[in-house]
Amino acid sequence: MRLVRAAGRTIAICGAVAALLYVAVVLVNGTRTALSSSRAEPTLSAAERGSLVVRGRQIFRYDTFGDQTFWGGALQLHKAIEGKALGGVGSGVSPKVALAVGLKVDSAKIPRPVAAAIRAGKVNLNSPKTTLALLKLNAVVGVRGFFNGGRLSSVGITCAVCHSTVDNSFAPGIGRRLDGWPNRDLNVGAVIGLAPNKKPITDLLQVDEATVDKVLASWGPGKFDAELFLDGKAFRPDGSSAATLIPAAFGLAGVNLHTYTGWGSIPYWNAFVANLEMHGIGNFDDERLANAQQFPVAARAGFAHVRHARDLITPKLPALHMYQLSLPVPHARRVNRAAARRGKALFDGKARCAGCHMPPEFTDAGWNLHKGSEICIDDFQADRSPTLRYRTTPLRGIVAKQKGGFYHDGRFPTLRAVVDHYDTCFGLGLTGREKTDLVQYLRGL
């Protein structure tokens, strides 16, 4: 909450500063502005931009791109949610179970009397029936239920299931949405693991169900493996999971390449995810995925060129992009300002961080990719991307992504551990106090 309020204030201040700057620019460049506007350039009006952002929010939160044909239709997940007693299979997914696997509930979607009943302990949180009621209210963040009369006939997922969480203002796991914050509680593997029919996955990966179950169980909370469905690699050479942390979707404006390994731009990756990971219905092209040596699964499945008669994804990319760029970046309030100031001097100077994490975007200005050896790590994950490199992670809003650790696979549990790593890697000779100062600066970004 505090973070959000702080972010709101920052935006208000930034807005005011931007308005003043704008006025100043118009005053200074009065003639030039008049000249260029008379050329009637096809720019968007504020209303059009606003409506793109609003549409983008709707898409980010609620649009399945038709992926219910996969999550419900193929995997039959809706039956596992219902449970046998309601006509599905298994014991069903109660709100308690849903919250335990890290799914979140949007308190704004719960009508007041229902909220009061929950507070009074009068709502059965152990019953899948309650989950169905929440799905009907569209209150489960990133999960859409499709109903046929009273029966749950299918289920789909949206971007928000992984890239939103809630502020826990109502109860743990229940509160107001925080779009763009990675859901580091969400156990994607456990959710997919509930599917009564895993044949679509065993067929795609050409492995047996026991193997799929083992892989899904290896991910753990806050992680997903977007490359698994391209290269079939589920484990790192040391035997640990090849999954990566779910990243933030905020703080990406001005950043060139996206994902931990720089697959492409935001619109590129949005199209990639909506088509190839969520299994929405759309069109997609990436000739790099025809490389059967690097991407045997993708090449076999024809992911390099996906075509559907109806495209439910491509027309939504502009609004989705605008919304992501508009997401506020949270800031920590409890940082020691004096220490953070000293930390900034180190970041920009002695510690050499700004050489790659260039302010104010905190990624390289330009081609923001590096070999693992430049930051003293292995190239396993980099080699799973066509770039064979790691993208310099933009650092703003880092306080909202501390759970699960840092670096693509969460190998460093704390910011202090990251700083210790760079200290050794670059031979910086930082003192204990300098390290603390650097961490204070990072926390406030």
Q: CB atoms < 10 A from the CB of 389, how many?
A: 22
| Entry field: residues in the chain | 445
Choose one: 29-37, 38-46, 203-211, 239-247; the region binding ligand HEC (CB under 6 A): 239-247
3-state secondary structure of 188: helix
Q: How far is the CB of 312 from ligand HEC (least distance, A)?
A: 11
Q: Which of 353, 399, 400, 445 binds ligand HEC (CB under 6 A)?
A: 353
Buried b (16+ CB within 10 A) or exposed e, 301-311: bebbebeeeeb
Residues 383-442 that bind ligand HEC (CB under 6 A): 390, 392-393, 395, 398, 401, 406-408, 415, 418-419, 422, 438, 442
Structure tokens at 102: 């890290």
Nearer to ligand HEC among residue 71 and residue 170 (C-beta): 71
When asked if residue 140 is in the footprint of ligand HEC (CB under 6 A), the reply is: no
- Radius of gyration, alpha carbons of the chain: 23
Query: How many whole angstroms separate alpha carbon 296 and alpha carbon 230?
Result: 7
- The nearer residue to ligand HEC, 306 or 415, going by C-beta atoms, is 415
Q: Does 7 bind ligand HEC (CB under 6 A)?
A: no
CB of 60 within 8 A of CB of 159?
Answer: yes
Site for ligand HEC in 287-316 (CB under 6 A): none
Residue 82 to residues 62, 76, 97, 141, 190, Cα–Cα distance (Å): 21, 11, 12, 18, 16
Using the rule CB under 6 A, is 326 a contact of ligand HEC? no
Q: How far is the CB of 23 from ligand HEC (least distance, A)?
A: 33
Stretch that binds ligand HEC, among 2-10, 45-53, 229-237, 368-376 (CB under 6 A): 368-376
Q: Are 379 and 385 in contact (CB under 8 A)?
A: no
**Which member of 137, 171, 301, 375 binds ligand HEC (CB under 6 A)?**
375
Q: Which helix (H) or strand (E) holds 117?
A: helix 112-119
**Exactly one of 57, 78, 104, 163 binds ligand HEC (CB under 6 A); which one?**
163
Beta bridge partners of 177: 166
Q: Judging by beta carbons within 10 Å of its beta carbon (0-12, 13-18, 19+), is residue 270 exposed, middle or buried?
A: buried
Q: Which chain residues interact with ligand HEC by CB under 6 A?
A: 157, 159, 161-163, 188, 224, 226-227, 244, 246-247, 249, 252, 258-261, 266, 269-270, 273-274, 278, 320, 324, 351-353, 355-357, 370, 374-375, 377, 390, 392-393, 395, 398, 401, 406-408, 415, 418-419, 422, 438, 442
